[in-house]
Amino acid sequence: MTAKISYADVEVGTELPAQSFPVTRATLVQYAGASGDFNPIHWNEKFATGVGLPDVIAHGMFTMAEAIRVVTDWAGDPAAVVEYGVRFTKPVIVPNDDKGALIEVSAKVAALLDDNRVRVDLIAMSAGQKVLGMSRAVVRLA
């Protein structure tokens, strides 16, 4: 399967549709079960604060996975992403309330590459803080 977006239809500066992803404590427990990462900083407030964190935090890989959804939804095919990398800059803090946290992701085409590929730069924010740095994906388009 190939991406549904055509290389000819994008240019540097093309903005991808921004998305927001809610995160609750229940979300983190579900992710822990799926990933096998049961580190108590992701579900136990007493433990998290005991090791110096402000509260329970989302898994870094969960945050990374939610962010790339902006790119895969835009491309129309997850397999179109041929490279993806981030730096974790701040944790997503998930309070124990009815709202939890929100990961807000925006992205734009930053470079046109060879072989119908583009580099997409992403910005992921939570509670007004940038949670991923150097977040970039290379996507092969149709």
Exposed, middle or buried, 54 (CB in 10 Å: 0-12/13-18/19+)?
A: exposed
Across 33-62, average pLDDT: 97
Identity of the residue numbered 79: A
Which residue range is the domain that position 83 belongs to?
Answer: 7-24+59-140
Q: For position 20, which CATH number holds? A: 3.10.129.10
Q: Could you tell me the CA-to-CA distances from 135 to 67, 98, 139 in Å, in that order?
A: 9, 29, 13
DSSP collapsed to 3 states, 38-96: CCHHHCCHHHHHHCCCCCCECCHHHHHHHHHHHHHHHHCCHHHEEEEEEEECCCCECCC
- Confirm whether 74 is domain-assigned: yes
Q: How far is CA 13 from the centre of its chain?
A: 20
- Confirm whether 135 is domain-assigned: yes
Report residue 1's pLDDT band, with 50, 70 and 90 as the boundaries: low
Instruction: State the total domains in the chain.
Output: 1
Confidence (pLDDT) at 40:
97
Helix axes 25-35, 60-75, angle to 10 degrees: 90
Confidence (pLDDT) at 11:
97
pLDDT value at 104 more than 90: yes
Report residue 68's pLDDT band, with 50, 70 and 90 as the boundaries: very high
Strand partners, 93: 57
- Confirm whether 42 is domain-assigned: no
142, 130, 138, 126: which is closest to 55 by C-alpha?
126
